[in-house]
Amino acid sequence: MDTKRYAVFGHPVKHSLSPFIHREFARQFGLSLSYEAIDATPEGFAAALDTFAAAGGVGANVTLPHKQAAYGLCARLSARAQRAGAVNTLTRIPEGWEGDNTDGAGLVRDLTERRRLDLRGRSVLLLGAGGAARGIVPALLDAGVLRLVVVNRTPVKADELCDRLGEPDRATSRYWEDMRELGDFELIVNATSAGRDGQALDLPLSLVNSLTTAVDLSYGEVAIPFLAWARAAGCRLAVDGLGMLVEQAALSFAHWHGKRPDTEPVYQALRERDVALATGD
C-alpha cells in the first residue's frame, strides 16, 4: 500500500507542531501516512505546491504567511473558506486543490469544549484584521456571538473584514484609538502578529470585566505579552492558541481521513513538552 503524502507549508515552518500532531492522530488509527514540513517563500509557494502535488501530495495544511495566497490558488472552496477569504487546509481533487478553513471551527471547539465557554450572546472584541483574523470570524458568528467589534491598527482592513462578513448588525469595525470608549467584552481575541515582533499591545483595562476570557491565537513565546496583559488586567481566563492548533488539525485530519481523532492526549503531550506556556486556568 502506498503511503499517502501530506505536508504543512509555511515560512518559516521549521518549528511547526503540525507534523507531530498529524502523526499522533494517525497512530490512533494505525494509519500509515507521511507528513512533512515544507518551507516555501511567498514567491515560491505556488511552485512548491505544484511540486508537492506532482510527487503525490494529496493534502496540505497552510500556515503563515500563505493562507490568503492558498485561497487564491484553489479550484474549489468550502463555504467557510470563501467567507474567510483564507485557506488552511488543501485537498487534492482532479481539478487541482480544494480549499477549506478549519481555524475558526478549531478555535470555537477549543473554547466551547475544552474551556466550557458558551459563546452564544457574547460580546467579542477582535484585535487585528489580517489573515489570522479573517480565518476565525465566520466561525465566531456561527457560534452565536451577539456583537463582534473589530479593531485594527490600519482601520481600512477592519472595515474590509466587516464588509466581507455582511452582517452589519453584529460585526462592526472601530478605530484602535477609540478602544477606551468601547466598554467591556466577554471575549477578547488577539489576532495581531505584534507578539511575533516581541511587541506588547497598548490596551485599556476598561475592556475587561470579571468574566472576560482573553485568547491569543498564537502560542509559546509569541503569546506571552498579550497573556501577561490579560492576567494583569484581571481576565478570568487567559488562553493561548495551542488548543485551537490541535483542534484545527483534528478537523483537517477528519476531512482527509474520515476519522475524528481524540485531541486530548495530543494536546496534553504538547503541554507537557512545555512547547507552550501555562494557560492560567
Minimum gap (Å) between residue 217 Cβ and ligand ATR: 8
The residue count for binding ligand ATR (CB under 6 A) is: 17
Is 155 annotated to bind ligand? yes
> Distance between CA 216 and CA 189 in Å, rounded?
6
Q: What share of the chain is helix, strand, coil (3-state, %, to 5)?
A: 45, 25, 35
193 binds ligand ATR (CB under 6 A): yes
Helices of type H across the chain: 18-29, 45-54, 67-73, 79-84, 103-109, 131-142, 155-165, 224-232, 242-257, 263-272
Taking the least distance from each CB to ligand ATR, the nearer of 51 and 199 is 199
Give the C-alpha distances (Å, rounded to integers) separating 137 from 34, 76, 95, 196: 31, 21, 28, 21
> Measured between alpha carbons, how far is 196 from 202 in angstroms, rounded to an integer?
15
Known binding residue 62? Answer is: no
Q: Among 71-79, 114-122, 129-137, 164-172, which window interacts with ligand ATR (CB under 6 A)?
A: 129-137
- Among the listed ranges 9-17, 18-26, 130-138, 254-262, the one in contact with ligand ATR (CB under 6 A) is 130-138
CB of 74 to ligand ATR, least distance (A): 17
What's the closest the beta carbon of residue 244 comes to ligand ATR, in angstroms? 13
Lookup: cell for 195: 507578539
Of the listed pieces 106-114, 142-150, 193-201, 220-228, which binds ligand ATR according to CB under 6 A? 193-201
Q: Is 14 a catalytic residue?
A: no
Using CA atoms, how far apart are residues 227 and 246, in angstroms rounded to an integer?
19
154 annotated among ligand-binding-site residues: yes
Closest residue by Cα to residue 108 from 205, 2, 247: 247
Residues 146-185 that bind ligand ATR (CB under 6 A): 152-154, 157
Residues 101, 80 contacting (CB under 8 angstroms): yes
Q: Is 69 in the site for ligand ATR (CB under 6 A)?
A: no
Please indicate if the annotation marks 172 as binding a ligand.
no
Q: Are 36 and 22 in contact (CB under 8 A)?
A: no
239 is in an annotated binding site: no
Chain contacts with ligand ATR (rule: CB under 6 A): 64, 128-133, 152-154, 157, 191-194, 199, 201
- Which amino acids are annotated catalytic? 67
